[in-house]
Structures are given as structure tokens and as C-alpha cells.
Structure 1
Amino acid sequence: MVIGAAVVLFIASFLSLVSAPACSGEFCPRESSSTFNAWDSLGLLMSMFLAGIIAAVLIVVARGLPTPRKVAGLELGQFGVALAVFSAWTAFWTIIDAGSAGAGMILGLIAALALAAGAVASPLVPALKAPLVGAPKPAVASPYGAQPGAGYGYPGGQQPSYGGQSAPGGYGYPGGATQDPQAAAPQAPAAGQPAPDGQAAPAADASGFAPFWFAVPVARPLYPEDGSPTPIAELAPGTWYLAVDQRGSGLVAQTQDGRRGLLQDTTGIQRG
């Protein structure tokens, strides 16, 4: 809706702003009404037509970015909404003052109002909040983060090595040729067995919490364990992270480079 309104607004900028040669007002043509459009009036062009087009670009770009970007303390999307409302406000009062509005002015007003309505409704209507580009989903994992047919651990990882030798391909290892016929389902590795990062998986602590691998559905910030509000890292979809402890509804997670922090939003995570 926002993109369509911006396209109509651009087309309307080339159409005549007035409908009659005999008119009065600031936007009357000096010679011929048939050739007077928004590009002949810099103030109207910038405050109504180009302002609306720029607003649409900011809104679309903001929806496509993985993390919000700010301009003068406002997120790009918020700045775009404010600019879209300003464009519609300018168009409304300009057409009232013009006296004899032409096709460009009428079509521009309709497009500016539609643009403002779409911009304001986007963050309020759930159906319009969906991202333009879907977040990548983690690959379906076998126990404890192992990928079918791949190495044990992170997606696309390699088999853990033991003294420089590849892990045996028999029962109990990913990609092994044999399988226990009595096993109803694959089991997660026990404490001390190789983990996805090539190290031993930690054992459960005294509280009964057992570390596990998980992936997030969308990018989420990782905050310091001391409760500071500034994120220390961002967990990305499609990557496996190790949960080493639980803090209320949150998880203490460890990244691949060894950093630890608190994941406050655990909704929708995929456990390995």
C-alpha cells in the first residue's frame, strides 16, 4: 500500500495542478495552466510529493533491516510515518487554497492520504506487521543440535576429532552405518560426550538444569549477566547457541566466541 501510494504520488507530480486558466492563488500558472505541475513549484514539490516518496522509502527500508536504524533520535520507520503525515497535511491544505485543483493535485491528495493511512496502520494492525523478508529458519535438528547427514553440532559442522583421527562411523555417532534396533528415538549426548563445538557438554548442575543447544527464530539481543541494558551480542537465526544456565524466564547463553550473556526473550526458541 505504501509503495503503491508513492508510485501514484510520483505520477501525479507530472500532472497539472490547476484545472482552469483563470484562477487566483499562489499556485496559479503564469502562462498556461496545462503545463503547470509540481515540478514548477519547488516548495510544493518538496513538502508534498517528494516528502511522501521519501517517507515510503524510509518505511520500506526500515521494514527490511534486521535491526532498527535511527535518524535524529527516531527510528527510520517512525521518521517515515511522520513525513507521510506531513505530506498528507500539506496536500489537504494546498488543495483547499488552490481554488481550482487539477488532476495532479487531486490524485496527489488521494495518494498522500493513502500513504499516511498505510504508514500509520503498519505498526498498529497485526496483519501489516509481518516483515517484508522472512527471517531464515534454523534447519531441522536432530538431538542436541546435530544435523542429519552433517557433522555433530552446528549446521554444516564436521565430525569431532579424537587425536587427529575422525570419529568412528559406527553406532552412536552421526552418520554411522548402524543403529541400535531397540532405540525408539535418538538420544541426546550425555555429559562428557563430544558437543557441537568439539568440547565436552557440561553436566547438569545442582538445581537440575541441563545445558542444551538452541536456535532463535529471529535475531535477538544478548544482554550482560549483571543486568546492564546495553546488549553485548546479537543471536542470529540459523545458528546454534549453548544455554548454560537459567535466570527466571531467561537463559544464560554462550556464543561461539565464548561470550556469555542473558537471553531475556526465549519465546519460540528451537531446542536441540
Structure 2
Amino acid sequence: METIEKRKWSVNSVLLVLLFTLFGAFAVFPIVTLIIASFKPAQELMRFGLNLKIDPALFSFKNYAYLFTGESLYLTWYWNSLLISAVFTVLCLLLSSMVGYGLAVYQFRFRNLVFVLVLVMTMIPIEIIILPLYKLSITLNLINSMWGIILPFVVAPLPIFFFRQYASGLPRDFLDAARVDGCTELGTFFRIMMPLMAPAFSSMAILQALFSWNNFLWPLIVLRTNEQLTIPIGLATLLTPYGNNFDMLIAGAVLAILPILAVFLFFQKYFIEGMTAGGVKG
């Protein structure tokens, strides 16, 4: 019986490995295709489209050179996206974690109502609130600026909910010990609770950095000049009714993957732990 069970387990393991290998190949296929296409001339892309065909005679770095020569603003767009994503992610993690921590730890009037409102906000599409946000941005003189992109979403409902769920599962003994030692509430949060919430911070750092880096609709509405554009909007300007620069577009898209990939590799250690813990505790 033990031998039969072991064989069943081995067959199941092989099937699972094959299944996940297939899923992994399916997920990686578009990226590999994009990387190969980034070294091909535009004429080749127009004739045959995206494919896995590798012809050394056609491969060159000209597409990448075009991004950094002439009147190209690619480096400016890249810097704008890096700066906005970094500032947005840091502020969003800091403020959202404080709100979520407060909803989880402190007892105050209308606490449950506030939490319900946070949940309701997660169900409202951004398209519904774009007009009032735009009018508010005009009133605050935030149009065509970095802060016009960052401030409207810096305290997001999803991170608040996530941090609240995670903080609800943390032991209260640490809080009591810190208060007995005379630590202030802010000191308790920054010195005690933030290190304990490291997995939650790692998970939300990946998600919020990805959201900010790929954000297209709101920056498209707020930004006005070419020098202020971000990567998604800047690459979209390469497609016009008068000509499509697919070679530069694909090469720019490949380079745009690198920052998010670096963020994921840096925070991946705690990513799964933070997602699972934040989802089941509370």
C-alpha cells in the first residue's frame, strides 16, 4: 500500500510540475517575444509581427539607441515615472499603514463606519470620480505637476484594508509593553509595529509601485507638456496617425519592465507571507 501511495504522490508531483511549467511558459512567452522584437527593425515587425524567430543578421541595438539620441524625451519620461512611483509608494505605504493600524488597534466612535466606507471605496471605479478629482486638482493648482498625480491616490482604500487586516492579527503584548516603558503612540508604531508589519509593507510596496508605474488614465488627464509625461503616456505618443514607431515603442517597453522587476525581486522574500497573512487574519 505504501508503495502504491508513493507512486500516486510521485505521479501527482510530476503532473503538478508539468502544469506549472506550462503556466510559467505561457506567462513568460509574451515577455520573451517582446525582448526578441526589440532588436528587430521596424520593417520586420510590420511584415511578420511579433514572433520568436531569431535572425542574427537582423539583430541590432539601433532601436535602443534611438531612445537616447536626437530629440527623444525617453530619459525624461523614465525619470518622471521613477520619481513619481518612488514618492507615491513611500507616502502611500506610510499614510495607509497608519490609517489601517489605527482602525485595527484603537477603539473610537464610528470606527466600524469608517472601515465600511473604506470597503465601499474599493468598489468604486476610478472613472466615476475622475471629474470631481479633476475639478479639485484645478482648484488646488495641481494640473501638470507631479503632485497632481500623487496626492489624489496617496491614501488608497486597498492598502488601508490590507494593513488593517494584518495589524489585527498582531499580538497586543508589544503595545502594552511599549506603553509601560513610556513610548509614545507614534514611537510605538514606528519602532515596534512597523518592523512586525514588514511582510505587509513588502506586499503593498510591489502592488502600489506597479499601480503607479503603469498608471495611464489619470496622468493622461493631469499632464500637459511633453517634458512632464510618464513612461506609459510617453510611449503612447509614439503611435500617431502619421506614423507608428513600433521599433522604439517595443524597445522602450522592454526597458520599462526593469524597475518593477527590480522592486519585485527586492521584496519577493516577504511577498507571499504578507499576502496570505493579511488575507486570513482579522
**TM tier, shorter chain?**
under 0.3
User: By percentage of residues, which structure has more helix?
Assistant: 2
Relative contact order, CA 8 A, sep 6+: which one is greater? 2
